Every structure is written in C-alpha cells, then in structure tokens.
Amino acid sequence: MSFLNSVVAPALFPSILWRTSERSVHITFDDGPHPAATQTVLKILHARGIRATFFLVGRNVQQYPEITREILLEGHSVGNHTQTHQVMFLRSADVQRDEIQAANEVIGKFLNSKPRFFRPPYGYFDLRTLNIARTEGQRVVMWDVDSRDFSTSRPESIERSVTKSVTPGSIVLFHDNASTAGSIGAYLELVLDHLLQRGFQFSVLPI
C-alpha cells in the first residue's frame, strides 16, 4: 500500500471509493472480458466461492458477450472501465463522456441497468472525469492494494506484497487481460488461498 494511495489521494478525493468500511476484502479485475484470462479467473473464484468485481472494457464486452454473461451468472459484480481503455486524464470532457457513456450502454444491456461503478484506465483521472461520473450516477472506484500483476513479478512476489498489505475493507487491483493470461492462474490462487487461510472473507463492492 503506497502512502499516496492510502493517505494522500483519499484525503484529496473523498468522493472516490479507495477502500470500504466492510470487514470483507474486495477483489477487483480490470480490462476484461478476455477469453483466456477471465475464464481462468472465473474458475478460481468459483472453486473458492468468492465473488469479485470486474471492471469491463465496453469493446471487449461486445467481442466476448458470452464471457460477460458468465461473469454475471457466477454472481460477480461489474463496473465500467471505458469503451476503448483510453487515458481520461486531461482529455476533453466530450471524449471522456463518450468513453464512459458508450461503455455504460454496452454493459447496461447485460444488466438492464447502468453499472454503478466506474474505474478510470491506469487509475488516471481529472476533475472532468469525476464530474462526468457523478452526472452518470456512478461511483469512481480506485484501490488501496495494487497487485502490480502487469509487471513480470514472480507469483510468490505478488502473493507476498498483496497479502502483507490487505486489511478488512481493502480493494485489491488485478488485471484479466492479454498480458496476465499466462500468469494469473498461479498468483491469484496463491493470494486467495493465503488470505482464506488467514480468515479473510470476500465480497463484491457494496452499492
């Protein structure tokens, strides 16, 4: 947990969800659905009875509707991660609004309602992003524990850094995308089993 993410940023941006006051831990996955990575994640979560939150990219949802349905059938929660995974920071309000609204429409068809949560790609946002999310009635969600699974860390390194940082109410960031498809099975099992052994419970993000 970095000082910036755990102390400074939450004080600057109190409207954003950085962690919750719940006793359980909130596992989140960005960038899916991905045909290999998301399927691997779903199997691992199913086997442990864990429900998580997936921040979906609209164009990936359009490409893989059946995986999107599977995520929802398994009881997981989904949020908006833009239509084409653009950086929001310092982009015009029009570009940001288009990215968010397009993904809301695509994902909304599977939910019969708008997703409640929005997470900006790469965690980069500005005040326009926050205003648009508020207008859309969506809560911006960041995280307090970054698995850094996009890097080439060994599974054991990811396990160690995540499990030493997690506390009740933590929001943990993982990625189910092309760059993690070959590795996510190993480190996700290590992390979840370690946390289960220590008695942690898991839940989707509270509405």
Please, which residue, 2 or 124, has the CB nearer to Zn ion? 124
Using H for helix, E for strand and C for coil, what is the string for 45-60? Answer: HHHHCCCCEEEECHHH
**Bridge partners, residue 77, by sequence:** 53
175 is catalytic: yes
Q: Output phi, psi for 17, to 5 deg.
A: -90, 115
Please, which residue, 10 or 123, has the CB nearer to Zn ion? 123
Is 79 a binding residue for Zn ion by CB under 5 A? The answer is: no
**Bridge partners, residue 173, by sequence:** 28, 146
**Interface positions, 112-171, toward Zn ion (CB under 5 A):** 121
Please, which residue, 144 or 149, has the CB nearer to Zn ion? 149
Neighbours of 68 (CB within 10 A): 24
Please, which residue, 103 or 191, has the CB nearer to Zn ion? 103
Task: Quote the least distance from Cβ 45 to Zn ion, whole Å.
Answer: 19
Task: Quote the least distance from Cβ 56 to Zn ion, whole Å.
Answer: 10
Instruction: Describe the strand order of the beta sheet including 53-56 as a list of residue ranges.
Output: 139-140, 117-118, 77-80, 53-56, 26-30, 171-175, 145-146
**Interface positions, 31-70, toward Zn ion (CB under 5 A):** 31
Task: Quote the least distance from Cβ 122 to Zn ion, whole Å.
Answer: 6
Is 99 a binding residue for Zn ion by CB under 5 A? The answer is: no
Q: Are the beta carbons of 171 and 17 closer than 8 angstroms?
A: yes
Binding residues for Zn ion, rule: CB under 5 A, are 30-31, 121
The residues that are catalytic are 30, 175
